[in-house]
């Protein structure tokens, strides 16, 4: 049995890994860190992840960081959960989506609404008429959903009329693992910057 500990902050990037753990249904230790209390800057946490960021997933005591890496690890370690199609091209497409999400969508917010609209319109087009990013449900959808959820729930404006992303959002919100994660994280309380 693999011992898993997730360091997370409600509503932040770590939500994607939290959802994946609930999808898999494996036991894990959940450790919530408060940004307001600067708990991710504590010497204890910096000793685990010197970048002081969540998600950080401890796998049998070894820290794993970055949403994409945590999701890929979980999907491959627990293949029975069906979070990653088994063929190499589909796996590469998942990595492609998650690289795009981490390097293009995630940092866009700091560059203003015009840039946000540009990159999310691109994401909507990339999705095309598929229900899911890879054609079937996968870690790429979990990663995409968390960032989209963050954007539409932020007080700052966000692009409207992204039909395909809106319907992916609805499909994600209907999933038990997503509802469980949102309930658990909102119970602790979101600390989302504007």
Interaction site with ligand GSH (CB under 6 A)? 12-13, 40, 52-55, 66-67, 102
- Any bridge partners for residue 6, and if so which? 30, 57
Nearer Cβ to ligand GSH (48/102) = 102
In the block, which residue shows the tokens 């063929």? 87
CB of 54 to ligand GSH, least distance (A): 4
d(CA 94, CA 194): 30
* Nearest-angstrom CA–CA distance, 194 and 191: 10
- Spatial CA neighbour of 101 closest among 93, 91, 112, 90: 93
Q: Minimum Å distance from CB 34 to ligand GSH?
A: 11
Nearer to ligand GSH, 18 or 40 (CB): 40
Q: Residue 27 or residue 50: which is nearer to ligand GSH going by CB? A: 50
Pick the closer one to ligand GSH by CB: 35 or 132: 35
CA distance 10 to 186: 7
User: C-beta of 184: minimal distance to ligand GSH in Å?
Assistant: 17
Q: How far apart are CA 108 and CA 106, in angstroms?
A: 6
Quick one: 22 or 150, whose CB is closer to ligand GSH? Answer: 150
| Shortest reach from residue 10's CB to ligand GSH, in Å | 11
Residue of this chain nearest to ligand GSH (CB atom) = 53
Q: Are 131 and 144 in contact (CB under 8 A)?
A: no
CB of 66 to ligand GSH, least distance (A): 4
Distance CA 67, CA 64 (A): 9
User: Which two three-digit tokens encode residue 149?
Assistant: 């959820």
């Amino acid at each position: 049995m693999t011992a898993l500990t997730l360091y997370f902050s409600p509503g932040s990037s770590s939500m994607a890994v939290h959802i994946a753990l609930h999808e898999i249904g494996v036991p894990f230790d959940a450790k919530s860190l408060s940004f307001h209390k600067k708990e991710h800057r504590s010497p204890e946490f910096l000793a685990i992840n010197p970048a002081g960021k969540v998600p950080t997933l401890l796998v049998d005591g070894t820290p794993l960081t970055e949403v994409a890496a945590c999701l890929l690890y979980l999907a491959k370690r627990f293949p029975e959960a069906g979070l990653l199609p088994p063929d190499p091209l589909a796996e590469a497409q998942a990595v492609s989506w998650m690289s795009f999400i981490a390097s293009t969508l995630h940092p866009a917010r700091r560059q203003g609404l015009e840039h946000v609209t540009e990159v999310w319109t691109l994401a909507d087009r990339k999705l095309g008429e598929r229900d899911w990013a890879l054609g079937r449900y996968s870690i790429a959808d979990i990663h995409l959903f968390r960032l989209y959820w963050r954007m539409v729930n932020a007080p700052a404006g966000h692009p409207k009329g992204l039909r395909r992303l809106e319907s992916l959002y609805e499909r994600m919100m209907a999933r038990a693992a997503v509802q469980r994660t949102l309930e658990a994280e909102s119970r602790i309380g979101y600390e989302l910057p504007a």
